[in-house]
Amino acid sequence: MPSNKSVSDAPIVQFTNCRILRDHRLQREDLWVREGKILNPEKLFFDEKGSADIQLDCKDSIIAPGFIDVQINGGFGVDFSLATDDFKSGIDLVSQKILSHGVTSFCPTLVTSPPSVYHQVLPQINIRNGGAHGAGVLGAHLEGPFISKEKKGAHPEHCLRTFEAGAFQDLLATYGSLDCVRIVTLAPEMKRSSEVIRELTKQGICVSLGHSVANLSQAEEAVQQGATFITHLFNAMLPFHHRDPGIVGLLTSDKIPVGRRVFYGMISDGIHTNPAALRIAHRAHPKGLVLVTDAIAGMGLAPGRHTLGQQVVEIDGLNTYIAGTKTLSGSVATMDTCVRHFQEATGCSVETALEAASLHPAQLLGIEHKKGTLNYDADADFLMLTDGLYVQATYIAGEEVWRQDAFGM
């Protein structure tokens, strides 16, 4: 048989005895990887007359795309909203640790902060590919400070801002730079928000609606201007009302521009959203659901006091509150836990649960041609999981970057 060397010197790895999530269903076939990409075996056999250099027996595991977390405030003692001189080492620590949760890419998220924090932190966030060093960084998610005082949640009121006459210039002056920014959460009912949404969208930044008292028509107007996401649906927004369902009404609105899909984040930790509310959202608009952790610095640490930007928060079991109150402030749930809880709470298929943490966030960010999928030529970022959706191993660009010690191969 002719050698593979004619096309590439890189070894071809064949993952066998597995069920692959492809085309929305688990299929019993092998996964082929070369040079960090998913390979089409037909082209390999018929065009290159090639074969695998290495075969790996997956022992009947599920192989699914790596998880993408578009809202994570920190973890393991690291708070992305705190300006420190060694901020980069904090990003490195979190990106390394979340590999065990199945996260292969993420958006470090900053909650409402003073301009000085954005000016110091944002230049230290570098968009980069994942690898043995940790999950890839897709860009920052800036949640605030242009949000509603009434629905500020755990965001410090003294740092909230409104849009003045030069609305987009206000935003630029506050953040300092948009170079590494991927998502901005704002309240669409604020004056002059439409021009800001239009300008951010023009620059390829995803606009998310959240921490808001917007009614449905204000939310629909924001979507018509380019907004595509809802930050943690049901949390920090007007509750659903039958005469005006508010932002929640976007899930079934008939005013969404043709060809546009509105996505919405859900913190599926069993605390932020009642399982019945999770089921309602999922049944109303299944293709828009994006699982997020909204994890804070206390994720992975013992209960007690930790920070979330300018605030002190208290962890009590899985509950996280602003210290001295009963205001929820982020979560300590891991992404794999959220996926399992979502499947259990909704009774959805394994495929649906996995896609809510992989394909949907990739579609939201417009990167579904390379992330969140196991289609040919996509990045070989994937997980091996048990039938119960526990992560056994994490791969980035076809290389194993984390493995559960107890799982032998």
DSSP string, 377-391: TSB--EEEE-TT--E
Q: Give every CB contact of residue 337 below 8 A, 6+ residues apart in sequence.
A: 101, 269
Same domain as 153, residue 51: no
Residue positions forming the annotated binding site for Zn(2+): 143, 211, 232
Are 330 and 107 in contact, with CB atoms under 8 Å apart? no
Tell me the C-alpha distance between 372 and 100, whole Å.
Answer: 17
Domain assignment of residue 254, yes or no: yes
The more confident residue out of 408 and 150 is: 150
Q: pTM of this prediction?
A: 0.96
Domain assignment of residue 8, yes or no: no
Same domain as 202, residue 134: yes
**What total number of domains does the chain contain?**
2
Q: pLDDT tens-digit profile of 181-232?
A: 999 999 999 999 999 999 999 999 999 999 999 999 999 999 999 999 999 9
Same domain as 87, residue 18: no
Same domain as 208, residue 96: yes
Same domain as 384, residue 359: no
Average pLDDT value over all residues in the chain: 95
Same domain as 218, residue 293: yes
Same domain as 193, residue 137: yes
Domain assignment of residue 2, yes or no: no
Domain assignment of residue 6, yes or no: no
Q: How close are the terminal C-alpha atoms of the chain, in Å?
A: 29
1 has a pLDDT exceeding 90 = no
pLDDT number for residue 7:
58
Q: pLDDT tens-digit profile of 114-131?
A: 999 999 999 999 999 999
Same domain as 18, residue 133: no
Domain assignment of residue 5, yes or no: no
Which residues are marked as active site? Answer: 294
Token pair 């206000």 is found at 170
Same domain as 174, residue 297: yes
Domain assignment of residue 7, yes or no: no
Same domain as 127, residue 46: no
CATH number at residue 185: 3.20.20.140
Residue positions forming the annotated binding site: 143, 154, 211, 232, 235-236, 243, 272, 328-330
Domain assignment of residue 329, yes or no: yes
CATH number at residue 60: 2.30.40.10
Would you place residue 105 in the very low, low, confident or very high pLDDT band (cuts 50, 70, 90)?
very high
Same domain as 246, residue 304: yes
Edge to edge, what strands does the sheet with 304-308 contain?
A: 304-308, 311-316, 319-322
Q: 3-state class of 216 per DSSP? A: helix
> The domain containing residue 289 runs over which residues?
66-365
3 has a pLDDT exceeding 50 = no
Domain assignment of residue 408, yes or no: no
Residue positions forming the annotated binding site for substrate: 154, 235-236, 243, 272, 328-330
pLDDT number for residue 10:
87
Same domain as 284, residue 225: yes
